[in-house]
Each structure stands twice: as structure tokens, then as C-alpha cells.
Structure 1
Amino acid sequence: MIFIHFTACIILVATCNGLITHSKLLGRSVKPLLFAETVESVSNKAPEAEINRRRNLAIISHPDAGKTTVTEKLLLYGGALQQAGAVRQKAEQRGTQSDFMSIEQERGISISSTVMNFDYNGKRDFSEDTYRALAAADNSVMLIDSAKGLEPQTRKLFEVTRMRKLPLFTFCNKMDRPALSPYEIMDQIEAEFNLESFPVLWPIGDGDRFKGVLDRMENVVHLFIKSVERGGKADVQQVPMDDLETLEKLIDDKELFDKLLEDRELLDELIPPLDMDRVSAGDLTPLFFGSAMTNFGVQLFLDKFLEMGVKPATRVAVNKDASSDDVLTVSPEHEEFTGFVFKTQANMDPKHRDRLAYVRVVSGVYEKGMKVGHSRSKPNKKYNLAQAQALFGSDRSSVDVAYPGDVIGINNPGCFAIGDTLYTGSNRVAFPGIPSFSPEKFSYIRSPNPSDYKSFRKGMDQLLDEGAVQALRQRNDDGGGPLMLAAVGQLQFEVVQARLKEEYNVESIMEPLTYSLARWVNSGWDAVDKADAAGKLFGIMIVQDRWKRPVLLFRNDWKAASLADEEKYLELAPWSQPPDFES
């Protein structure tokens, strides 16, 4: 999933269960957050013009639907690149800006989250390539392979966007290949998601006969001419729909011309006018067709999104110094700075072994050198944000100010975790955390060379901070015993091994385990001991997470469901969040 922010953009990896916190908070009565005056009465309020020109977009799709290619072309049309890169490039082509890790370039896939900021027609854009960023997005786009229609991973990610009530835009990609009928795609979306669609860009042909698109909002046909330069922008010829003589001549295909006229009449009769209130509520999806590979329709989509997408949104938070029912709303216009960490990454600069925390600004203004509170630390504990960085793939540049909707990279001293809130003012503000996935793959990892132990330990500590994999150990193990990794998929393990070798010069060996899911025991170790003494945990592995909290590993869903139903005092949960700590 990719998240693009027209000034900033992000993405989240979370299960549906993991977003229950958001749903519960949004279902309760809330009140505007009234920040207490500081002694200096300094306002960090963001200028309205800066808020209004920002858009966030998270791209969700099944693998190989074209996420990276779409991102590259958005960067191309946004003016951030002179030439779009290729996921699998030939010798004369440059690689993609968003897939900059060597393992991504070797395999032609997106693995790590990538952040880009760029300006386009007075708006600012940012894209991100990870599932996790949906928590920070204000809009989402569902990217569909037009030949395949809806696929399993697309369905999963749609459920997450639906729970967050995000406006959803749909882009049907790869129209340069033989594709399903656009009516068939519309029927799939409505049948499977109970979601109506409004065609904004309508295709003229597909495969080798893909001629362009009809912009139904402007009643103009855009006929595309393939760019001579590889990766360059496509030339476009615009013809008013009413100029039938010119259209027929340029389309030069009687069947496609007649079908265009028939489709326009049918759509105008059957599809009600576009209702932007329904779009904002996530009840109607604007529908676009195009081809990122040939650049057909990408710029049109970008222009339309800037018109239709919502600006940085008000978010729900809690005041941690008050009762648990003190639910607050934090709008971008609030006078205090607030933001939350949605991603961490090690070794952005391998020479310095640095660690970055990616922060989405929710309200107020970030200013270089400002001091902020941390939602999981003591209220009087402050952190100095000495500098922040704007991110563009693997490239970084210093920024002195940032506004709501922006994503900035800040130095992570080791205490910032995914889901943490940073804030100014006297109210200890906390946005709902971003839970970790319930892992499905488990494996011991070790270095075969004792002389590499220190480098292995350092590398694992920093990579684990990123959250793509989790660390588990035997009960009461303070770090000297075997390290177990837990992840959603096998690829995460391969990435850890590849990065250990490339970034830390450490070889590693993986020893897979046969368990298939984990459950955290929220009621603590006493409940685990009670169940174990009663013989209820036979065949279940008891381990602890990095915060020494109890975790049970199961070989199948049935066993986990049975234990949860029979021994409710265990309070089993499929996800976890970092605990509060005092420092």
C-alpha cells in the first residue's frame, strides 16, 4: 500500500482488530481540545493557507497491481522527477525513486516504506509505500489491475479503509493490456464492498486499442500519444466530446467511437451526479481508468484528486492526565503542535547508523529546536527536536518548519515507537496507538559466527525498532537466550537477513517454528500460570515480548479460539501496543 500526501503522505500496517481503538473512540461523544495556555502564551497555530494546500493519499492494492509505477508517475507529473524509473529496469533505465533498497531493486518489489515530498500546482505531495500508513492518511486510493479486478489483498486493505471511514478513490490501472469491462469492475466493487462508484475518467478501449479517456466532469476526451522518451510524459490531445467529427477521425476505430457514444449516453442516464459529501464519507468512490506504465490518465487523476481530496482532517485523541472518558478532537487549526509516529527506520545513512522516526504532523507548526512531550513518558519529560528532515526516498534535506499533513523524519533516541504521540502544551495528548499485527510466521534467528555477536545484537535491536518483525523470547529471558522473530509473512524474515548482511556485515541462520499465530495475554502472567496449572496450555508455546509481557503461540486458529472462549480470564488479544513507561 502506498500513501501519497499532497504535501505529505503516509501508510499504516494494521489488522482490522488493530483499528478497534479508533472505532471505539470515534463512537463516543467527543469535545474540542482546548489547549491550556503556556507561560509564554506562544501560539504554534498553523497558517490556514498551508493547511488547505495539503492532501494525503494512501494507495492500497494487491501485489503487482502497479503501486510503485503509479508512484513514480505521480512524481513525474508532480515535477519531482524528470524521468520516471522502472521497477525492473533495463541497462539504460534508472531505478525507481521509491524502491531504493538493494533487495527491492533486485526483486522488483516494494518492501520498505518510502517517503517523498513534492509540490504540484501549489499543492504539496508525499507518497509512502507501506501498509502501516493508513493510520495517518486522510484519503485513500484503491489501485486495481484492470485485467484481474478485485484481488485478496485489495479486499483486506479495503476493510481497513472502511473502518477508518476514509474517502476512497479507485484507479483502474494497466488499461494498456487486455482488461475487464469497466462495467464489470463497477459491479465487482458494488457487489463485494457495497460501495457505489462514480466514473470520472472513462476508458476508450483497452490493450493495444486503448486510445485514452473521457473526462465526464469536463465532457472532454483525452487522446494519448505514447512518449518517445522512455519514462517520459505522454503527449495528450484534448477534444471536446461534442466535436464528433474530429473525435471519430482521431480515434480512427469505428467500433470504439460508437461504443464511446453509447457509454456516455448510458452513464449520463444511469449514474446520478457526483455527491462529494458521499465521497468524503466513504460511501461513494470516484472511479478512474488509465495506464501508469504508458502514462495514460495519471496526470488527469492527479489533477482530479487535488480537487476532490480532503485536506488534513480533525483527529480523535485523549487527555492522558484526565479520566479515560476525556476524549478530545484535535483539528489542524489547534494552536499547539501535535503529531504521531507511524514508522521508524534504521540506517537511512549506513555510515552513521542513524535511526529515524517518521512523524505525521496533526496540528500546529513544527519548528526547529522545539521541545515536545511524549505520550508514554512522564508529563514533565521533554525532548528537543533539534532538527527535522524532509524525505524523498533515500534522500533527505533539513526543514525548519512543517505543517499539519506533513511528514517529517526526526532523530530517534531509542524511545520513540510506532503509535507514539508528540505534543506541546500542558495537556498530555495521545492519539489512538497503532497496534502491531498478529504474526503468522515464527523462526529462531542466530549468527553462526560468535565473533559477530555484537554486530548481530546491534543490528537486530535497530531493525526490530522498525516494527516489521517482532522479537519474542522464552519466559524470564533477559536477552541471553535464543531470539525468536515473529512476522506476518516470510518475506519479512528474508528482508531481515538481507539487511543484516548488507548493512551490518553479519550472516544469520533462520530456524522456522511450526506455530501459525500469536495471542497476547492482557491479564498478565498470573492468568497464564493459572491456565497452565489447569492443563489448558498443552501444545501452546509460552513466550514473552520485548516488554516481557506474556504471549501464547498456537498452531491453528481453532485452538486459539477455543482457549479464548473457555478461559475468558486470559483476555487474549491478537494485537499489542507499546506500554507506557517512565523516564
Structure 2
Amino acid sequence: MATADKVMAEVAEEAGRRRTFAVISHPDAGKSTLTEALALHSSAISSAGAVHGKGDRRGVTSDWMEMEQDRGISITSAALRIDYEGRVLNLLDTPGHADFSEDTYRVLSAVDCAIMLLDSAKGLEPQTLKLFDVCRARRMPVITFVNKWDRPGREPLELLDEIEQRIGLRPTPLNWPVGIAGDFRGLIDRATGRYTKMTRMPGGATKALEEVLAPEEAARVEGTEWERAREEVELLEALGADFDAESFLAGESSPVLFGAALPNFGVGQLLRAIVGLAPAPTAKTDAKGEPRPVAAPFSGQVFKMQANMDPSHRDRMAFLRISSGRFDRGMVLTHARTGRPFTTKYTQAVFGSERSTIETAFPGDVIALVNAQSIAVGDTLYDGPKVEFPAIPSFAPEHFVVARAKDAGKYKQFQKGIAQLDAEGVVQVLTSDVRGEQAPVLAAVGPLQFDVVEHRMEHEFRAPIEASPLDYSVARRTDAGSADALHALSGVEVLKRRNDGELLALVHNKWRLRVIERDHPGLLLEPLLAGGVVDEEY
């Protein structure tokens, strides 16, 4: 009994040291650059790179796929584990492009806090709004980082007003910039009044030079910009825009920090805010609606699958967020969906594309299970009494193509590749008796997902494909009782989603869908859901 109590105490203590968070933003807001800068300031790496690397600056650690490096965008999420000041930070970098939203939403199911990254010139953009809606549906705490203050942009008070007016999140700035956007001098810490002057290092690949100045010295050095910043800080105080832990954790207010990720301005302050404010792991609600305490026996949920991170090994990795208990490499877990045992002999911690064997892990940690052939996104693994967490919903696709192997002799490779990409959630794979297995329909949120499929099918599975677009733009869930009647209608096709057996009705457009719903009210045409938000809003 004493040993069990000791393990529970250890798990609770270790869980308290964890901070698991994701960075979310609109494309080109600087998300991957911020991820790299956070790793730099935590001393996890010695030199930062930008997505569009120049000179001898390498590509970002989190953008490890060849396509990501070629195109300068994040295509898949990446996990980075960072040790910093006695804390373990599990940072999940996510794709910013709207076409890869589904991967981002899966990641949001695995974190306890989100860093909402805003471009100082653009403020809240469409993709940021969509991502925040999911955070709000889950009552997830959000820390806001206003990026690119070293470039021309908007007034800081204007940005705060936009946050409050458009998304109903009360902004509570923790620091305040001295110098307008494009003339970034430094930051005032609102809690202490301390001013930190910042100077960019050559190339921006190392930490910025920070110099702390007394108010009198700051006034002398910065002149009118200092006076302007001080007046704005006094206004914030008069408005009561002060940090409140209770409303932050309830998802009602957001601490705001200003900075510029590329020259590493303000990144250290953000890192300290994450450590000090982001919540540690807490009990997760299982599929029965019951909370699973962090000190309970081991349990975790797979939120991402990824194959061929190491092309020389052709492996398949399942990324699992630990919800409760202590993980020890080699322990035999139970796969909730099948009831079969799963051995964890080959388990790793991942830092971008780099890996290392992990012996123990605790709630909040993300571990990679190697060669997890039987596991799929959303699956629960557990030890002890059975537990299963709610499934991670799939999005309603809006783009569809028929995939065929260009070389009939590569049919086995074709089938293997399609099955693998389906398991990873790169696309949804739909089939029917009419089309057959040799011509599956690939369904995606955005057309760039098909580019990823074509690239990976050719380079990883050596089975190039032809992708022929289909004239559908709406998907609805249906059932066997409605399928025959829907089949008989023009502009509709019913297919089965391979990963879960759901029947989806594909319709040419929303106008045609409205006509069918009006003329055939008895047929089941149910909107798909994702993350607690109706997908058609996206």
C-alpha cells in the first residue's frame, strides 16, 4: 500500500511540473518561428532558424518534412519536449494553413493551454477565429502573443479592443511595448514596472541582448516613446485590465504579451508566462462522463499518427498524450478499442525530427509509440481497470478526388499507402461497391492535403497516383435506411468512410442539399461535428 501511495504522490508531483500547450495562428503569423524561438530561449537549441532560412540559417526544428522545408509552411503538427527551470514543457507546433485544420484540432484535444499568435499588422484573422472557437468550446485557457512588433502594424490599444469586441475575450496585458509597431524599443513589465530594452543580435539566430533600465534612465534614453508607453500603461490600470487567474483558467480572459519572434524580442517573457500561468494537467473526462484523476493508473489517448519520419526505417509512430499514471517503457497496456494487449518496448520522446528513447513519462507528456500498426487516431491505451476517452471527431470534408494508381503493377503499394495515409488522418478515405477498392475517394478539408498525398504516395510508397476531382462540396452523415433513396437522387453519392464505417452522403453543393432536405424530409442528412463546433461554420 505504501508503494502505491508513493507512486501516486510521484505522479501528482510530476504532473504538476508539466505544461502542455499548442501554438495556434493564421498562416504567416510566425508560428513556427515562435516555436523555434521558444526552444532557443529555453536553451533546448543553440541557434534558431526561420521557416524561410537565409544564409547559413537552417529550417525550423519543428518543420521536418521535406515538403515543409521546400514550401516554407507547416503541413503537420510536431512535438517538442523542453526542460526549463524545473518544468517540462510539451510544445505542440501546429499547421497554420487552413487546409490542415483537422491536424490542428486533433492537437487541441491533447493540450491544456493554447498560445494564440497574432500578427501586429493584421490582428485577428479568419483561421485564428476558427481555432479560437474550438478553444472556447473546450473552455481552454488562451495566452495571446502579439508578434512582429518590429514591423509596421496597428496601435496596441486597437488590437486589445479587437480581441474583446470580436471574440469576447477580455485582454489583460502582462507587458507593454515601448515604441510603435515597426520601432520596437523594449517592454515594460506591468507587474514590476521594470523596463527591458532589447537589441537584435546579428542575423537574429541567437537571443536578443536585453538591458534592464531604471525608469529615469528609460525616460532619458527613449524620450517621447517612453512617455507615450507610460500613459498607455496608466490607462490600462484605470480600465482594470489586470491579470486574473480565475477568469484566465475559465477561458474568459487572456493575458497578452508583445514581442517579435524573429529577432527574439519578448520571447523570454512569453516563456516565463507559460511556466507561471499555463495550467498543469488535470483530470480528463472519459467516455462515460467520469473524470480520470491524474494519479489513477496509466491511461492516454492517441491524437496523431505519423509514418516515415525516418525514411530509412519506414516506421509508423503513434503520438499519445498521457492523461493519468506513470508510464514505464516496456509495460503492457490494453488497447481499449480491441481489448488486445499492446507492448511499449519501443517508445520515444520526440524533438521535431530527432528522437530519443524514453524510459518514464507522466501526465501531460507526449510519447511516440513506434510501429503501432494496430492503433488509430482517437484510440485509448490504459493499464488496470478499463477506461476509454471520447473519440476525436473527424471534420466534414469539402474537397473530393478519386485516386487511382498510375502503374497497375504497383497496386499493393498503392493500397498500403492509401491505408497508411487514412490511418494518419492525412485524408479521409471513402469507398463504395460501385467504385471498388481500386478507386477510393479521398476527402479533405482543403486541396493542399491532396498535394501531400500525391507527394507521399510517390516518394514514400513508390506508387504515384492520378487524382481526379469530383464535383461535390458538401458531406453529411446518413444511415443505411436513407442510403438507397439518396442513391436514386441526382447530385448525390453515398460512400462509406473506411476508418469508422460511417456512411457519408456527398452532395454537389449547399443549394442542392437544401432542395433534397425540403423534398425528402424523412432522409437522414446530419451535419458532422468537430471539436464541439458545427463544421459547416468553417
Q: TM-score, normalised by structure 1?
A: 0.85
Pair 338,247 (structure 1): closer, same or farther in 2 beyond 3 Å: same
Per-residue CA distance 1:117-165 (angstroms, 9 max, x = gap): 1101111122223312001110111100010111000110010000000
The 3 A distance-change label for structure 1 pair 107 and 148 is same
Question: Residues of 1 paired with 2:368 and 2:208: CA distance?
Answer: 34
Is contact 2:18–2:87 with CA below 8 Å preserved after alignment? yes
Cα 1:525/1:471, change in 2 over 3 Å? same
Return the offset for 1:495: 0.8
Q: Is 2:522 the counterpart of 1:553?
A: no
Query: Given residue 429 of structure 1, which amino acid in structure 2 is its aligned partner?
Result: V
- Listed one character per residue, the Cα deviations across residues 90-125 of structure 1 (whole Å, up to 9, x for unaligned) are 231111101111111111100011111110111112
Q: Are positions 1:202 and 2:176 aligned together?
A: yes
Q: CA deviation at 1:444?
A: 1.2
- 1:572 maps to 526
The separation in 2 between residues aligned to 1:92 and 1:41, in whole angstroms, is 52
Instruction: Name the residue aligned to 2:357.
Output: 398
1:495-510 matched pairs, under 5 angstroms? 495-510=452-467
2:493 match: 541
Mapped to 2, the partners of 1:576 and 1:234 lie a distance apart of 40
Match of 1:283 in 2: 252
Q: Report the secondary structure of 1:109's partner residue.
A: coil
Map of 1:133 onto structure 2: 107
Confirm whether residue 93 of structure 1 aligns to residue 57 of structure 2. yes
Partners in 1 of 2:11 and 2:491 — Cα distance? 59
1:454 is displaced (CA, Å) by 2.4
Aligned partners of 2:4, 2:261: CA distance in 1, in Å?
50
Quick check: 1:81 aligned with 2:55? Answer: no
What per-residue deviation string (whole Å, max 9, x for no partner) do you get for residues 258-297 of structure 1? 2022112212211254210011001110011100011110
1:108 maps to what in 2? 72
Deviation at 1:229, TM superposition (A): 5.1
Provide the secondary structure at the position in 1 that maps to 2:441. Answer: strand
Q: Indicate the residue corresponding to 2:221 in structure 1.
A: 250
| Alpha-carbon distance in structure 2 between the residues aligned to 1:409 and 1:280 | 29
Q: Decide whether aligned partners of structure 1 residues 43 and 444 sit closer, same or farther in structure 2, where only a CA change above 3 A counts.
A: farther
Tell me which amino acid in the other structure corresponds to 2:507. F
Q: From 527, 535, 540, give the equivalent of 2:482.
A: 527
1:352 matched to 2:326? The reply is no
Residue 95 of structure 1 aligns to a residue whose secondary structure is coil
Q: Distance in 2 between matches of 1:303 and 1:101?
A: 30
State the distance in 2 between where 1:538 and 1:44 align.
Answer: 62
- 8 Å Cα contact 1:370-1:384 kept in structure 2: yes
Q: Secondary structure at the match of 2:369?
A: strand
1:20 counterpart residue number? none
* Cα distance, 1:199–1:226 mapped onto 2, change above 3 Å: same
Question: Which structure has the higher relative contact order (CA within 8 Å, separation 6+)?
Answer: 1
* Distance across 2 between alignment mates of 1:41 and 1:293: 47
The CA distance in 1 between the partners of 2:501 and 2:133, in whole Å, is 32
Q: Which moved more, 1:46-55 or 1:150-159?
A: 46-55
Q: CA deviation at 1:208?
A: 4.1
Query: Does residue 333 in structure 1 map to residue 302 in structure 2?
Result: no
1:166 equivalent in structure 2:
140
Q: Secondary structure at the match of 1:438?
A: coil
Deviation per CA, 1:514-551, whole angstroms, max 9, x where unpaired? 11121121xx323312555xx5x331112222154421
One-letter code of the match for 2:211?
Answer: Q
Equivalent-residue separation in structure 2 for 1:135 and 1:576 (angstroms): 11
User: Which residue of 2 is the match for residue 485 of structure 1?
Assistant: 442
Change (3 A) 1:564 1:59: farther
Change in Cα spacing, 1:81 to 1:509, as seen in structure 2 (3 Å) is same
In structure 1, the partner of 2:278 is: 309
In structure 2, the CA distance between the partners of 1:541 and 1:84, relative to structure 1 (3 Å rule), is: same
**2:99 counterpart residue number:** none
Instruction: State the superposition RMSD in angstroms.
Output: 2.1
Matched AA of 1:250: V
Task: Name the SS for the 2:109 alignment partner.
Answer: helix
Give the secondary structure class of the aligned counterpart of 1:360: strand
CA distance in 2, matches of 1:170, 1:455: 45
Aligned length: 517
**1:88 and 1:104 mapped to 2: Cα distance?**
10
CA distance in 2 between counterparts of 1:287 and 1:178 reads 19
Q: Distance in 2 between matches of 1:433 and 1:104?
A: 29
Provide the residue aligned with 1:437 in structure 2. Answer: 395
Counterpart check, 1:48 vs 2:12: yes
Letter in 1 for 2:336: S
Give per-residue Cα distances to partners, 1:432-476, cap 9 Å, x unaligned: 110111111101122222232222222222122110201112236
Taking only the aligned residue pairs, the percentage that are identical comes to: 38
Instruction: Write the letter of the residue equivalent to 1:176.
Output: D
Shift of 1:406: 0.2
Find 2:326's aligned residue among 354, 365, 370.
365
* Matched letter for residue 388 of structure 1: T
In the TM superposition, what whole-angstrom CA distance separates every residue of 1:217-265 from its partner, at most 9, and x where no partner exists? 121111101113541100101124xx32x012332xx331220221122
Question: Displaced runs of 4+ in structure 1, greater than 4 A?
Answer: 40-44, 561-566
2:228 aligned partner: 259
Q: Distance in 2 between matches of 1:229 and 1:539?
A: 56
1:358 counterpart letter in structure 2: F
> Which deviations, in whole Å up to 9, do the C-alpha atoms of 1:370-406 show, x marking residues without a partner?
121222113xx32222231000111111111110000
Shift of 1:53: 0.9
Is the alpha carbon distance of 1:329 and 1:72 closer, same or farther for their aligned partners in structure 2, counting shifts above 3 Å?
same
Aligned partners of 1:169 and 1:136: how far apart in 2? Answer: 17
Contact 1:344–1:467 under 8 Å retained in 2: yes
CA contact (8 A) 1:346 1:462 kept: yes
Aligned: 1:387 with 2:346: yes
Structure 2, unaligned runs of 5 or more: 95-103, 532-538
Instruction: List per-residue Cα deviations over 1:317-339 (Å, max 9, x = no partner).
Output: 13xxxxxxx431012122x1010
The change in CA–CA distance for 1:369 and 1:181 in structure 2 (over 3 A counts) is: same
What is the alpha-carbon distance in structure 1 between the residues aligned to residue 414 and residue 11 of structure 2?
47
Answer yes or no: is the 8 Å Cα contact 2:149–2:182 preserved in 1. Answer: no
Q: Is 1:376–2:337 an aligned residue pair?
A: yes
State the shift of 1:192 in Å.
Answer: 0.8
Instruction: Report the CA distance shift for 1:360/1:568 in structure 2 as closer, same or farther (over 3 A).
Output: farther
Determine helix, strand or coil for the equivalent of 1:492: helix
Q: Is 172-181 or 496-505 further displaced after alignment?
A: 496-505
- In 2, Cα distance between the equivalents of 1:207 and 1:195? 23
CA contact (8 A) 1:520 1:575 kept: no
Instruction: Find out whether 1:409 has 2:409 as its counterpart.
Output: no
What secondary structure does 1:74 align onto? helix
Mapped to 2, the partners of 1:439 and 1:191 lie a distance apart of 31
Once residues 411 and 568 of structure 1 are traced to their aligned partners in structure 2, the CA distance between those partners, rounded to angstroms, is: 47
One-letter amino acid matched to 1:363: S
**TM-aligned CA distance change 1:43 to 1:306, over 3 Å:** closer
Q: Report deviation, 1:568.
A: 4.8
**Alpha-carbon distance change, 346 to 196 in structure 1, aligned in 2, over 3 angstroms:** same
Counterpart secondary structure, 1:124: strand
Rounded Cα–Cα distance in structure 1 between residues aligned with 2:203 and 2:250: 41
Shift of 1:559: 3.4
- The answer as to whether partners of 2:486 and 2:493 remain within 8 angstroms in 1 is no
1:166 to partner: Cα distance: 0.5
